[in-house]
Structure 1
């Protein structure tokens, strides 16, 4: 690490962004000794309308929440020993949660792209959108690959449970290495906690909220048909059972058995495979419009995790129903919210 070069870069970043504030007349930056983690800290004196404002600045090499939380605690200790001083955290990029932690703690922040929240005395500046780089973007993207999603389904379907790596890998049907990778990402996001008992999901709302933004039921292969059979649900279940194929009532069809919100005269179901043979056996007519039967060939077998048997029919899990409904245009989002309020929220609140 080129310390002198990094030092100049930080000082230029501070000077540029602080002097851009009209009320600030001067900026005096004094580096302090490196801390044990190698981050350069600075004491900054601002000249503001004839008064001096002191800033305690800590520079982080990583903007993850756990490091920001540690920095906030350290800055608060320093501020207790000083009068008329304020804290400022600088990092290459800050997670959304990191920025929220700073706001809650009354600590200003600044990233290398110039995104900031600077609040001290009678000065308040907030800038966002200077870069489309979100440090959590890469982490989140890697969570929504099919096999990684299997782990998320297991965590969301078992409120309050702690998982050892091997047990979670078996339950999700993935490798131990995949569990370890996902676990590290979730720890960085502070969505899980790790203890001697194993990994436990603690930020289930944040996970589910983010997953639904990155999910669409159209990831599955969709086949549309028309049927004159009023008992098509039972017939589909019978055919799949005879062929030893997994199936699950999905979207509005599944939700009608779990948390009925609106009645839609259309069958939605996941079918493991052999849709052509099944449609032929059920005498389904392929159509481009006006379908009343939609069969989904799963993009991954994880959609079958946590199936429920209700009225003799296999129903997709509440988490799967929620994700699929939320991405369905029309009344899907309303039905998803109703299912969330009636099933998912009470399930997690009880644990």
Structure 2
């Protein structure tokens, strides 16, 4: 964005006043304030101007901009605070300040929090407290007494990318470790060991989760411990991200003469004999964790490819098919994808969390089965 374009929003001021404001405000604040003004001016019968008394410091905190807003003949003064990104934890930290500033003024003076990115949870909290907000994606909430504006747009790509990376790769292994052990307190080193990741990776993930206000902590320094107080919120967020990810590639086989229970037992014996790391998932695993369906037509299994994989599958008597498969194989990229599997009656099953997520991609009554598993086995 050019300097001249940013400069244009300050057309109401003298050259000396503009220089003073530009010296005080960081570049990103110029861009966000201009974006806010543009968005307001695009609304019907709305006029918005940047007021001269912009850089005001209140007793309870800084006001980065003051905007005179006129909507259908009614006037509102917006006191704007700018932040780079806002998560639920940030909202709770500043909420008392925003409300205090707001309550010091007339009803037609409102506080507005603007940021490059506002997480969905932060927006929800701000709406509940009737605090206005705006982000770089164009979402706008203005709960005025004389005008109510609510525009909800997709989260900015920067936040979307950050959240998406949290639920993939080695970072996802940390999430599995937290959900599987959600009732425990743990340090960075402990969770890193359980998730089989570097302590730096575990630390990064824990910091991100704290920003979402899903963790609580106690202690300081090396002895600091965390506890996942919102496992349900974390899993719900994962479900949304999981739905957007590409479904895994399935290798389909037909094994003659074996129904699902016998097939599970047989492939478990065969894979163990050939030292192949595997975990049964989807309906077949869910049925063993929390019975729901009267019968299972297909067994889906995740396994870590090895030189023995084809031999074991051949010894099962499996043949490749395009239709009518009763066995589907998903080849994992690393051993980390099989973490937290459980041995149930001699067969390795994927963790209930993994099975739940897999079922949400399934067909038929898989989604019903997923909710049954979450209620009966996962418990949150």
Is TM more than 0.5 here? yes
Structure 2 equivalent of residue 271 of structure 1? 303
Deviations 1:188-231 (A, max 9, x none): 23232333251222232232223233337976553211112322
Cα displacement (A) at 1:18: 4.3
More off after superposition, 116-125 vs 221-230:
221-230
Structure 1 equivalent of residue 182 of structure 2? 159
Structure 2 equivalent of residue 241 of structure 1? 272
**Counterpart secondary structure, 1:93:** strand
Q: Distance in 1 between matches of 2:31 and 2:299?
A: 61
Say which of 183, 206, 209 aligns to 2:206.
Answer: 183
Structure 2 equivalent of residue 254 of structure 1? 285
Cα displacement (A) at 1:49: 6.8
User: Are the aligned partners of 2:139 and 2:151 in contact in 1 as well (CA < 8 Å)?
Assistant: yes
Deviations 1:52-87 (A, max 9, x none): 544332222333333333332212112332332322
Distance change >3 Å, CA 298–CA 20, structure 1 → 2: closer
More off after superposition, 300-309 vs 336-345:
300-309
**Counterpart secondary structure, 1:229:** coil
Q: Distance in 2 between matches of 1:203 and 1:233?
A: 34
> CA RMSD, aligned part only?
3.0
User: Are the aligned partners of 1:63 and 1:93 in contact in 2 as well (CA < 8 Å)?
Assistant: yes
Cα displacement (A) at 1:40: 4.8
Cα displacement (A) at 1:3: 3.4
Structure 2 equivalent of residue 59 of structure 1? 82
Say which of 8, 12, 24 aligns to 1:3.
Answer: 24
> Is 1:95 matched with 2:119?
yes
Distance change >3 Å, CA 56–CA 234, structure 1 → 2: same
Q: Distance in 2 between matches of 1:193 and 1:48?
A: 43
Q: Distance in 1 between matches of 2:48 and 2:264?
A: 74
Q: Distance in 2 between matches of 1:39 and 1:203?
A: 32
Distance change >3 Å, CA 87–CA 283, structure 1 → 2: same
Q: For 1:60-209, list aligned pairs within 5 A.
A: 60-84=83-107, 85-129=109-153, 133-196=156-219, 197-209=224-236
User: Are the aligned partners of 1:55 and 1:87 in contact in 2 as well (CA < 8 Å)?
Assistant: yes
Instruction: Show structure 2 runs of 5+ residues with no match.
Output: 1-21
Distance change >3 Å, CA 289–CA 10, structure 1 → 2: closer
Deviations 1:163-184 (A, max 9, x none): 2111111111111121122222
Q: Distance in 1 between matches of 2:70 and 2:163?
A: 42
Q: Distance in 1 between matches of 2:178 and 2:139?
A: 34
User: Are the aligned partners of 2:60 and 2:101 in contact in 1 as well (CA < 8 Å)?
Assistant: no
Say which of 317, 323, 330 aligns to 2:351.
Answer: 317
Distance change >3 Å, CA 22–CA 10, structure 1 → 2: same
Distance change >3 Å, CA 10–CA 160, structure 1 → 2: same
User: Are the aligned partners of 1:95 and 1:136 in contact in 2 as well (CA < 8 Å)?
Assistant: yes
Instruction: Show structure 1 runs of 5+ residues with no match.
Output: none
**Counterpart secondary structure, 1:225:** strand
Q: Distance in 2 between matches of 1:113 and 1:96?
A: 12
More off after superposition, 209-218 vs 260-269:
209-218
> Is 1:226 matched with 2:257?
no
Cα displacement (A) at 1:11: 5.5
Distance change >3 Å, CA 174–CA 20, structure 1 → 2: closer
Distance change >3 Å, CA 135–CA 34, structure 1 → 2: farther
Q: Distance in 2 between matches of 1:33 and 1:10?
A: 18
**Counterpart secondary structure, 2:85:** coil
Distance change >3 Å, CA 204–CA 22, structure 1 → 2: same
Q: Distance in 1 between matches of 2:367 and 2:85?
A: 36
TM-score (norm 1): 0.85
Distance change >3 Å, CA 132–CA 339, structure 1 → 2: same
Cα displacement (A) at 1:156: 0.7
User: Are the aligned partners of 2:304 and 2:334 in contact in 1 as well (CA < 8 Å)?
Assistant: no
User: Are the aligned partners of 1:18 and 1:27 in contact in 2 as well (CA < 8 Å)?
Assistant: no
Distance change >3 Å, CA 270–CA 16, structure 1 → 2: closer
